Amino acid sequence: MDEREKVFGELRKNNIRITKQRRAIIDVLEGKHLTIQDVYSELKKRGYNNLGTVYNNIDFLLEHKIVAQIFINGKKHYDLTIDDKSHSADSHIHVTCKVNNNIIEINDSEIFDLIKNHAIFKDFTINKLQLVVEGVCEHYDKDTCRKDEACFINNLGKTR
């Protein structure tokens, strides 16, 4: 049984339905970081036309830690957390390029441990740690950096 079905099974045990629209939102978010408008646009292509229902279902998915909300370049984005064992709704590092808005995740326990074990947090238990790193690479070139395959951060995530 995959991670997604385990989560769905736990919800069903608590008499919580996994509706077609909730499944559709999860499918749309797979491997992507989307704004609510992006999610809605994708769902409209699948025949789901009620924006209010999208908001309600996003709230449900956030509450059950199936999706995480992150602020990138001043906008809320949503990230599926249940299919990637290397991160959860409570532990994320996102790196985004200010030039082309590419977003990648770095899941490095060493970074989390460094922060959690820092002396400033000696008498404090960290339950949630989400970081957003925004920037432009030092070898920025406006012509090549706008191309996804040339974006430095796309390769950054592969080094971890």
> Domains in the chain, ordered, with CATH?
1-84 (1.10.10.10), 90-160 (3.30.1490.190)
Predicted pLDDT of residue 150: 64
DSSP letter, residue 150: G
pLDDT category of residue 131 using cuts at 50, 70 and 90: confident
Strand pairing class (75-80; 33-34): antiparallel
Please name which of 75, 76, 77, 97 lies closest in space to residue 145, comparing C-alpha atoms: 97
- Which is more confidently placed, 8 or 40? 40
Rounded Cα distance, 1 and 28, in Å? 21
Rounded Cα distance, 135 and 126, in Å? 26
Predicted pLDDT of residue 160: 33
* Residues making up the chain, counted from first to last: 160
Residue 35's identity, in one-letter code, is: T
Predicted pLDDT of residue 147: 63
Please name which of 43, 84, 36, 94 lies closest in space to residue 62, comparing C-alpha atoms: 36
Rounded Cα distance, 108 and 125, in Å? 19
Q: What value does the mean pLDDT take over residues 150-154?
A: 69
Predicted pLDDT of residue 35: 94
- pLDDT tens profile 41-97: 999 999 999 999 999 999 999 998 888 888 887 889 998 887 655 556 567 788 888
Predicted pLDDT of residue 159: 40
Out of 12-16, 62-66, 156-160, least confident range? 156-160
